Amino acid sequence: MSFPARPRKLADCRLRGAGTELFLVEGDSASSSVVAVCDPEFQAVLPMQGKPMNPLRGSAERITTSPLYAALIIALGGGVGAGFFLDRVRYDRVLLLMDPDADGIHCGVLLQMFFYRWMRPLLDAGRVQVVWAPMAEVRVAGQEEPTFAYTEPHLQSVRHALRLQGKQILDTVHHRGLGSMYPPMLARTCVAPATRTTVPLEAKDVLRAIEVFGGPRPAADPQLQLFGTD
């Protein structure tokens, strides 16, 4: 099967199909960091430049001409909207790996909405997943490996639990972006399949995000034949 030209900033992998992964990250700094520690045999990386437009409100023309979404559509190779074909997608999984901060959360939600509305079969097949990047690490006396926290409430819970155990907390380091993580940590917590924390994304998860960030559910639109019409 032949594929169209690939986006300029896509760091592609050598394999195709089963077992391959496409990481979507924020910007060139995050992309460079992930590329440095990923396995180029089966892991590809695409930086998403800037914050995406709201895909629930955009027309098909606006989506396909948006540089950010256009790069993603071309990279995946399966088309978009009513013209999306699951069996043409280059990669087995799409991994949303955003910075562990407010901008990263918002960017990740917009991408989730994109897959919900414009590539729903990929979402329903369980092939869009979210990688939890740690926002902080707690270093404890006598413990070689740090304890990772993924949200602010989780961090407070971790620190409280360590104190109850009589542990001496030496330091708490916050990570505002993937580029601030040292490579072995980034590889272990976000990139390596055996050790990262990855959650498959479901339509119900996106609907909850839409209610918080994007307003009402998208209505059925016969002209665009949207997928997000539960």
Select the more confidently predicted residue: 115 or 180.
Answer: 115
> What SS3 state is found at 69?
helix
Give the closest residue to 207 by CA, choosing from 176, 230, 179, 175.
Answer: 230
pLDDT 10s digits, 43-98: 999 998 777 888 988 888 999 999 899 999 999 999 999 999 999 999 999 999 99
Angle at CA of residue 54, ends 52 and 58, nearest 5°: 110
Give the closest residue to 177 by CA, choosing from 1, 28, 9.
Answer: 28
pLDDT of residue 225: 40
Q: Does pLDDT of 221 surpass 80?
A: no
CB count in 10 Å sphere of residue 171: 9
Band of pLDDT at residue 218, cut at 50, 70 and 90: low
pLDDT 10s digits, 3-56: 456 788 999 999 999 999 999 999 899 999 999 999 999 999 999 877 788 898
d(CA 204, CA 32): 32
d(CA 196, CA 218): 32
pLDDT of residue 1: 43
Active site residues: 26, 99, 101, 103
pLDDT of residue 194: 96
Band of pLDDT at residue 186, cut at 50, 70 and 90: very high
Half-sphere exposure of 184 (CA within 13 A, CB side): 2
Select the more confidently predicted residue: 151 or 213.
Answer: 151
d(CA 95, CA 22): 6
pLDDT of residue 214: 57
pLDDT of residue 103: 86
| Global pTM value | 0.87
Q: Is the dihedral of CA 26, 27, 29, 33 positive or negative?
A: positive
What CA–CA distances, in Å, run from 24 to 2, 33, 43, 82, 220? 23, 13, 11, 23, 28
Helix axes of 102-118 and 67-76: crossing angle, nearest 10 degrees: 60
Q: Does pLDDT of 215 surpass 70?
A: no
pLDDT 10s digits, 145-180: 899 999 899 999 999 999 999 999 999 999 878 988
pLDDT of residue 220: 42
Q: Taking a C-beta distance cutoff of 8 angstroms, is the pair 9, 72 a contact? A: no
